[in-house]
Amino acid sequence: MSLKNLEIYKSHILEYGFTVINTVFSEEEVGEIINVLNNIDTSRENFRKSEDLFAIRQFLKELPEIKDLIFNDNIKRVIKEIFGGKYFVVKSIYFDKPETSNWYVAYHQDLTISVDKKLELQGFGPWTTKQNQFAVQPPLNILENIYTLRIHLDDTDENNGALKVVPKSHAKGIYRPETIDWNVETEEIGNVEKGGIMIMKPLTLHGSNRTTNGRKRRVIHIEFSDIELPEVLQWSERMN
């Protein structure tokens, strides 16, 4: 990957809310990651399986053996130079959108974080609880600080559910999708090559269409922050 000048990517994220960097993983490295994924026991409770979607929540906790494959030298450099030296993992999910998937995601922002317990805290709420996992909408400064890294294990374009984004929407605070004015806003498709990454701010409005070309779309989604949560609240998947 041409990582000579990561500043260009960093400034693109700050201005537009996202960027795409291709050839971050070699063909061989992608193959090794897929090999681990193909050999897992899919019956565990953090695994969600339907004909439209296979997902693994708390991905790095569930598959610790995959960590060294994901955090190669290129990714470590991206984290250090684009995010910052103090950033750590706060959430990880694996999505497999199969070839026949009708999975469609409407425009939204990612407004919740995963935490270890439920507490009454000023500025935190509403709360949701699923399978003993707690998610909460935190104050805006915490959301604004997060970077989402999406590692693509397949070539992804508008025909197999690449993310659609609204550039610059990340700078507008909480943005209700039903209020999008398409006379003002534009839509961009985040095409990513196999072995490439997309970096996004969670407040960037994003969605994806159904697959129409019969091709898989497998993505590893990892969120990073460098903010410690207040009181005794902890990020539930915190990992350095």
Task: Tell me the pLDDT tens digit for each residue of 76-96.
Answer: 999 999 999 999 999 999 998
Domains and CATH numbers, the chain: 6-225 (2.60.120.620)
3-class secondary structure for 146-172?
CEEEEEECCCECCCECCEEECCCHHHC
* Predicted confidence (pLDDT) per residue in 7-26, tens digit: 999 999 999 999 999 999 99
Give the pLDDT confidence score for residue 41 in this predicted structure: 79
Q: What is the pTM of this model?
A: 0.95
